[in-house]
Amino acid sequence: MASVTFDKATRCFANMDHPAVCELDLEIADGEFMVLVGPSGCGKSTSLRMLAGLEDVDSGTIRIGDRDVTHLPPKDRDIAMVFQNYALYPHMTAADNMGFALKIAKMRKEEARRRVAEAAGILGLDDYLDRKPKSLSGGQRQRVAMGRAIVREPQVFLMDEPLSNLDAKLRVQTRTQIASLQRRLGTTTVYVTHDQVEALTMGDRVAVMKDGVLQQVGTPKEVFARPANAFVGGFIGSPAMNLFRLALTADGTELGGLVLPMPRAALQAAHAEGAAEVTVGIRPEQFGVLSTGDLQTPGLEVVIDTVEDTGAVTYLHTTAKVGQELAQVVVRAPGRGTYGKGKHLRIAPRAEGVHLFSATTGLRLPAAEAPA
């Protein structure tokens, strides 16, 4: 097993106006499950392919443990990759598919058979080893693809959206299985997905990318609770964080008549940039709906457009007048409420649920004074 280090790793394609992967700095600890997540085209697969040796590195280095692998061919890197389309050989049985790489590597037959049997046991595939891919379910095929990686006992697993061909229910089950399997094997894993829920539930840490640039690395808790910028705030979490661009006042800002005081450090940082506005982020679950009788508590007036009642919770899609404009606001409320289209509500955010970002750079504004 080994750690993985991207050190200013860059990949440029001629047809693009920015690098597909730009000076990526990322340290993945030995045994860690790291998820690369971000919207389509942000450079996740390219990063993974650079680590696999399937894509050139134009500048910077990549290390596995203390070996510089930047220019090593894929076969010398001691990695195993699981792709989105499992690419199983249709004419081979599950067992032969799993053992194929070992056969190519001229491993002794008994040892190869032992490894395939062991992987099949781990993956619950014992009864399917003689079947060809076409008579396996999607989930079973996915597990054969996993098995093919496991038998190689590599230093690092690389997985590129391995669950995207499965239906929603199977995807949720398999995601738990992969995460617990990885913990059991303790093999360093880099996992790519565009699905932020998958990222948050599977990763020890999550690396969020946008336009080839790493935005933030942290535990799921960290990136959710303290997004480093407005993009991460809006990308991580479902439904998405409400983001508002609001005028900066002397002591904070106002959301449609609702005064939002800002910590002194944030205010100073925003004023220091000479900004006239601030970006405020509030997650749907951080709004409370004020009761009709409660006219003492200041609130934001919203009108309900649509009601999405999932049973346990209700998402209210609403419109509010914010400054001179109308803004869409998503609010989470308890399920089975008496909400209807056109109804007026007053809502207020919890103080700790207000995220402040620079309207200029998008970066999170400091909440506390920087130590002198």
Ligand X SMILES: Nc1ncnc2c1ncn2[C@@H]1O[C@H](COP(=O)(O)OP(=O)(O)OP(=O)(O)O)[C@@H](O)[C@H]1O
Give me the least distance between CB of 300 and ligand X, in Å please.
35
Q: Which stretch binds ligand X (CB under 6 A): 36-44, 73-81, 177-185, 271-279?
A: 36-44
Smallest gap from Cβ 13 to Mg ion, in A, equals 14
Which residues, at least 6 apart from 221, have a Cβ–Cβ distance to it below 8 Å? none
Q: What residues numbered 14-33 form the site for ligand X, per CB under 6 A? A: 15-16, 20
Q: Nearest distance from residue 54's CB to Mg ion, in Å? A: 12
138: which 2 tokens? 């999607």
The one of Mg ion, ligand X, none whose footprint includes residue 296, by CB under 5 to 8 A per kind, is none
- Please check whether residue 200 is in contact with residue 206, taking contact to mean a CB–CB distance below 8 angstroms: yes
Q: Does 46 bind ligand X (CB under 6 A)?
A: yes
DSSP state of 364: B
Instruction: Pick between residue 46 and residue 182 the one whose CB is nearest to ligand X.
Output: 46
**What's the closest the beta carbon of residue 232 comes to Mg ion, in angstroms?**
19
Q: Which does 89 bind (CB under 5 to 8 A by kind): Mg ion, ligand X, none?
A: none
β-bridge partners, 67: 64
97 lies in the site for Mg ion, by CB under 5 A: no
Q: Does 151 bind ligand X (CB under 6 A)?
A: no
Query: 161-164 contacts: CB < 8 A, separation 24 or more?
Result: 161/84, 161/192, 161/193, 161/194, 162/82, 162/83, 162/84, 162/86, 162/191, 163/193, 163/198, 164/84, 164/193
Q: How far is CA 43 from CA 20, 101, 208, 243, in A?
A: 5, 28, 10, 25
# residues near ligand X by CB under 6 A: 13
What is the closest distance, in whole angstroms, from the C-beta atom of residue 15 to ligand X in the complex?
A: 5
Radius of gyration for the alpha carbons in the chain, expressed in angstroms and rounded: 25
Min separation Cβ 193 and ligand X, Å = 8
Cis peptide before 239 (omega within 30 of 0): yes
Distance from C-alpha of 214 to C-alpha of 191, rounded to nearest angstrom: 15
Of 9, 43, 299, 364, the one binding ligand X by CB under 6 A: 43
The smaller minimum CB distance to ligand X, of residues 46 and 358, is found at: 46
For position 194 contacting ligand X by CB under 6 A, the verdict is: yes
Kindly state whether residue 171 participates in binding ligand X, applying the rule CB under 6 A. no
Nearer CB in complex with ligand X: 25/251 = 25
CA dihedral 165, 167, 172, 175 (to 10 degrees): -20
Applying CB under 6 A, which of residues 42, 207, 262, 302 lies at the interface with ligand X?
42
Q: Report how far residue 72's alpha carbon sits from residue 75's, in angstroms, rounded to the nearest whole number.
A: 8
Choose between 194 and 364: whose C-beta lies nearer to ligand X.
194
Angle between the 109-123 and 168-185 helix axes, to the nearest 10 degrees?
Answer: 130
44 part of the interface to ligand X, by CB under 6 A: yes
Residue from the set 5, 45, 97, 229 that interacts with Mg ion by CB under 5 A: 45
CB of 45 to Mg ion, least distance (A): 3
The H or E element that residue 140 is part of is helix 138-150
Interaction site with ligand X (CB under 6 A): 13, 15-16, 20, 38, 40-46, 194
Interaction site with Mg ion (CB under 5 A): 45
